[in-house]
Each structure stands twice: as C-alpha cells, then as structure tokens.
Amino acid sequence: MIVDLKTGGPHSPEYTAEVADAAAEAIRVLNHATGGTDALTYPGDIDRLISALSTLLAQAQANLARIADERNLCDDRGHDAAATVAMVSMGLGAATVLASRLFEALDAAHQAGAHLGARDG
C-alpha cells in the first residue's frame, strides 16, 4: 500500500484511516526490524523511535478528548461511555508519560555515550 503522506492536508477520516493502516504496517515492519541486532545501533536511534511514538500517543489522547466532547459516544458493552473514554485516556496518558521518561533516560544515555570512542592500535 502506498499512501501519499501530506502533513499539510487536506485531511479526512478516510485519509486518516489510510495513514493509520500504513502506520500499522510500519509498526509491524519496525517490530521485525528492531528484533534483530543491526537495526538500532546507537542510543540516538532509540531516542528517535521513542520520541515519535510518544508524540503519537499524546496526539491520540488529545483527539480522543475532542471526539468525546463533540459526539455522543456509546460503549457497545453497555458501560458508561464517559468512564470508558476516561480509562482509555488514562492508559494513553500513562503510556505517554512512560514513553517520555524512557526518552529522557535514553537521551541521558545518548549524551553520555556520545563521548565514547574506540582506541584502536
């Protein structure tokens, strides 16, 4: 699947779904790529990965809040939709905080590791 990625729009639910499908495929590829030993060779590689995922989680949380404000949501299990939205939002918020903390820790490791070199010979 080839998707023309346009940050400036126009955006629609259909286009967003296409990008999400492409992102899901990219995540599958990342899952396989990062399972080996040659995909992430420097702390900075991991920093970039975590930063991108953290941003995505924060944006998903913000959009969920907007959608819940704009629409009359329901939960197909008969549960209170507002409570379900709150649970999803809490999970995304916790994941964002954890991703941010991981990014900070990896960045600290990267900053320290950036001064390392190998003395050959």
- pLDDT averaged per 10 residues, the chain (length 121): 84 89 86 77 76 82 91 93 93 87 83 80 58
pLDDT at 121: 58
Determine whether 5 is exposed, middle or buried from the number of CB atoms within 10 Å of its CB (0-12, 13-18, 19+): exposed
Q: Are residues 99 and 55 in the same domain?
A: yes
Q: Which helix (H) or strand (E) holds 78?
A: none
| Site of tokens 């704009």 | 70
Q: Are residues 53 and 106 in the same domain?
A: yes
pLDDT at 80: 94
pLDDT at 35: 77
Q: Are residues 54 and 109 in the same domain?
A: yes
Residue 54's identity, in one-letter code, is S
Q: Are residues 27 and 75 in the same domain?
A: no
Q: Are residues 12 and 56 in the same domain?
A: no
pLDDT at 33: 80
- Of 30, 36, 67, nearest to 52 by C-alpha is 30
Residue range of the domain that includes 9: 1-39
Q: Are residues 65 and 16 in the same domain?
A: no
Number of structural domains the chain divides into:
2
Q: Are residues 80 and 95 in the same domain?
A: yes
Q: Is 118 contained in some domain?
A: no
Q: Is 9 contained in some domain?
A: yes
Q: Is 121 contained in some domain?
A: no
Tell me the CA distances in angstroms from 11 to 1, 8, 25, 65, 109, one per residue in order. Answer: 18, 8, 20, 19, 38
Q: Are residues 58 and 94 in the same domain?
A: yes
Q: Against a cut of 0.75, is the pTM above it?
A: no
Dihedral sign (CA 4, 9, 10, 15): positive
